[in-house]
Amino acid sequence: MARYVLDHAEIVHGKDVLDFASGSGLVGIAAKMAGARSVCAADIDSFASVAIGINAQVNAATLSVTTDDLLAASDHGNWDVILAGDIFYERDTAERVFAFLSWHAERGATIFIGDPGRAYLPTAHLAKLAEYRVEVTRELEDNTIKRTSVWTFGEIDPQANQAA
C-alpha cells in the first residue's frame, strides 16, 4: 500500500487521509510524504500507537494517532481518503470493516485497500488497481515472495490495472 501511495501521490495530495489499522504507521507516513494535508493513523493496539509515533518522528512526518475503535464509534469521522491495509483476515472483522469503508465510500471518500490475498476480502465488490510481489522472510511466511494487491471500490478499466 505504501508503495502504491508513493507511486500515485495524486490520490492523497492535499487531502485528509485515514490510515486505518495502521500498524507501524508506514502507509500513513507514505501518505504524508506524498503530500497529504493531514493523516490520522488509527490502530486499536496501544503498542502500534507507540510504533507509529516513533516511526513518524524518525521520518519527520506529522501524523495524528488514535487508538479509538473507529468501527464502534458513533462519530465515523470525515476523511477524503481511507487507506486500509491487511485487515480482512477474520470473518467478523472483515464484515465490520467493509461496512465502515462502504459507509465512507457512499459519502464520497475514496477507499484503497492493501491485501495479501486474505480469505475474507470481498473482491466481488472491489476493483484491483495493482499487484506487487514483495520479498519476505521465510521465517514469517510460507514463501519468500508474497503477492499483495491494492483494491478500490467500484469498477476500474482493466487497461488501467498495473503490475509491479
CA atoms in the 13 A half-sphere facing the CB of 58: 10
Instruction: List the domains of the chain with CATH numbers.
Output: 2-69+79-156 (3.40.50.150)
How does strand 110-115 pair with strand 145-153?
antiparallel
Looking up cell 488509527, which residue turns up? Answer: 42
3-state secondary structure of 106: helix
Q: What is the pLDDT of residue 134?
A: 82
Which tens digits make up the pLDDT trace of 1-19?
Answer: 999 999 999 999 999 999 9
The values of phi and psi at residue 103, to 5°, are -55, -45
CB atoms near residue 15 (< 10 Å): 19
- Separation CA 7–CA 40 (nearest Å): 20
Looking up cell 476500474, which residue turns up? Answer: 156
- Whether the pLDDT of residue 164 is over 70: the answer is no
Q: What is the pLDDT of residue 155?
A: 58
Which tens digits make up the pLDDT trace of 44-94?
Answer: 999 999 999 999 999 999 999 999 999 998 777 899 999 999 999 999 999
Q: What is the pLDDT of residue 159?
A: 45
- Separation CA 8–CA 150 (nearest Å): 12
- Separation CA 4–CA 145 (nearest Å): 18
The pLDDT confidence band at residue 160, using thresholds 50, 70 and 90, is very low
What single letter denotes the amino acid at residue 82? Answer: I
Which tens digits make up the pLDDT trace of 101-113?
Answer: 999 999 999 999 9
Q: How distant, in Å, are the alpha carbons of 35, 57, 70, 82, 140 from that of 4?
A: 14, 22, 24, 13, 23
- Separation CA 88–CA 65 (nearest Å): 22
pTM: predicted TM-score of the whole model, two decimal places: 0.89
Sort 115 into a burial class: Cβ within 10 Å, 0-12 / 13-18 / 19+.
buried
Q: Do residues 38 and 6 touch, judged by C-beta distance below 8 A?
A: no
Q: What is the pLDDT of residue 136?
A: 75
DSSP code at position 11: G
- Whether the pLDDT of residue 146 is over 60: the answer is yes
- Whether the pLDDT of residue 161 is over 60: the answer is no
- Whether the pLDDT of residue 98 is over 90: the answer is yes
